[in-house]
Amino acid sequence: MAGRFEIYREQDHFRFRLTGDDGATLVTSEPYEDKDTTVAGINGIRDCAASALITDLS
Protein backbone atom coordinates (compact mmCIF):
# COMPACT_ATOMS: atom_id res chain seq x y z
CA MET A 1 0.00 0.00 0.00
CA ALA A 2 1.35 3.38 -0.97
CA GLY A 3 -0.89 5.86 0.78
CA ARG A 4 -0.55 9.61 0.60
CA PHE A 5 -0.13 12.29 3.25
CA GLU A 6 -2.12 15.45 2.51
CA ILE A 7 -1.46 18.71 4.37
CA TYR A 8 -4.39 21.09 4.54
CA ARG A 9 -5.37 24.28 6.29
CA GLU A 10 -8.36 24.36 8.62
CA GLN A 11 -9.30 27.79 9.98
CA ASP A 12 -6.21 29.02 11.86
CA HIS A 13 -4.16 25.80 11.90
CA PHE A 14 -2.80 23.00 9.73
CA ARG A 15 -3.62 19.29 9.76
CA PHE A 16 -2.61 16.27 7.74
CA ARG A 17 -4.45 13.16 6.75
CA LEU A 18 -3.20 9.83 5.49
CA THR A 19 -5.26 8.40 2.68
CA GLY A 20 -5.19 4.89 1.28
CA ASP A 21 -4.88 3.79 -2.32
CA ASP A 22 -8.65 3.98 -2.67
CA GLY A 23 -8.76 7.58 -1.38
CA ALA A 24 -10.28 6.65 1.98
CA THR A 25 -9.03 8.68 4.95
CA LEU A 26 -7.11 6.41 7.32
CA VAL A 27 -5.73 8.95 9.80
CA THR A 28 -6.44 12.61 10.57
CA SER A 29 -3.92 14.54 12.66
CA GLU A 30 -4.23 16.86 15.56
CA PRO A 31 -4.02 20.58 14.74
CA TYR A 32 -0.58 22.14 14.20
CA GLU A 33 0.33 25.82 14.35
CA ASP A 34 2.47 25.88 11.21
CA LYS A 35 3.44 23.81 8.21
CA ASP A 36 6.91 22.90 9.55
CA THR A 37 5.48 21.19 12.65
CA THR A 38 2.88 19.50 10.46
CA VAL A 39 5.64 18.00 8.33
CA ALA A 40 7.47 16.98 11.53
CA GLY A 41 4.29 15.19 12.64
CA ILE A 42 4.16 13.29 9.35
CA ASN A 43 7.80 12.28 9.72
CA GLY A 44 7.10 11.07 13.25
CA ILE A 45 4.34 8.80 11.95
CA ARG A 46 6.62 7.52 9.19
CA ASP A 47 9.39 6.74 11.69
CA CYS A 48 7.36 4.68 14.13
CA ALA A 49 4.37 3.25 12.24
CA ALA A 50 6.12 0.31 10.61
CA SER A 51 7.38 -1.07 13.92
CA ALA A 52 4.52 0.02 16.19
CA LEU A 53 2.91 -2.69 18.30
CA ILE A 54 -0.81 -3.36 18.27
CA THR A 55 -2.51 -3.25 21.68
CA ASP A 56 -6.12 -4.44 21.86
CA LEU A 57 -7.95 -2.44 24.54
CA SER A 58 -11.42 -3.80 23.75
20 pLDDT exceeds 90? yes
- Mean pLDDT, the chain, rounded, equals 94
For the entire predicted model, the pTM comes to: 0.83
- Give the pLDDT score at 1: 62
pLDDT at 2: 76
Give the three-state DSSP class for 20.
coil
Does domain 4-50 bear CATH number 1.10.3470? no
User: How far apart are the two ends of the chain, measured CA to CA in Å?
Assistant: 27
CA 39/CA 20 separation, integer angstroms: 18
Tell me how far CA of residue 11 lies from CA of 26, 30, 47, in angstroms: 22, 13, 28
How many C-beta atoms lie closer than 10 Å to residue 14's C-beta?
A: 19
